[in-house]
Amino acid sequence: DAGITQSPRHKVTETGTPVTLRCHQTENHRYMYWYRQDPGHGLRLIHYSYGVKDTDKGEVSDGYSVSRSKTEDFLLTLESATSSQTSVYFCAISVKETQYFGPGTRLLVL
């Protein structure tokens, strides 16, 4: 257990509304990541962070922004949710070369 929690675990929202997902870790790991999981695509990196206020884009970052004001929290924001952002979102931390995952957030955009 890497001490990672995600909230909310489930969310239903409407197209055009902003949505924020939270990832919280308890062990002061430097690196944190947001992925989305879709059938046939595995996990795709949205954004990652390598320290407080230090973030960078992944391969599918369009329509998403992130913030990290504290070591323990990494927020993912969908600025204006679209149906294509319906997915399962996973947060992860890395310990050296290995990543450890949170339980996921299932998001449905209607």
Contact between 41 and other proteins (CB under 8 A)? yes
Q: Decide whether 67 or 101 has the Cβ nearer to other proteins.
A: 101
Count of CB atoms situated within 10 Å of the CB of 91: 25
Which of 40, 65, 67, 110 is in the footprint of other proteins by CB under 8 A?
Answer: 40
Contact between 74 and other proteins (CB under 8 A)? no
Q: What are phi and psi of 25, to 5 degrees?
A: -125, 150
H/E run at residue 62: none
Please, which residues bridge with residue 70 across strands?
A: 73
Q: How many residues bind to other proteins according to rule CB under 8 A? A: 20
Which of 64, 90, 107, 109 is in the footprint of other proteins by CB under 8 A?
Answer: 90
| Candidates 19-27, 68-76, 77-85, 100-108; binding stretch for other proteins (CB under 8 A) | 100-108
Q: What are phi and psi of 63, to 5 degrees?
A: 90, 0
Binding to other proteins (CB under 8 A) within 15-34 occurs at 31
Token pair 């997915």 in the structure block, residue: 87
Contact between 101 and other proteins (CB under 8 A)? yes
Residues whose CB falls within 8 Å of the CB of residue 59, separated by 6 or more in sequence, listed in order: 44, 45
Residues binding other proteins (CB under 8 A): 31, 40-45, 48, 50, 58, 90, 94, 97-104
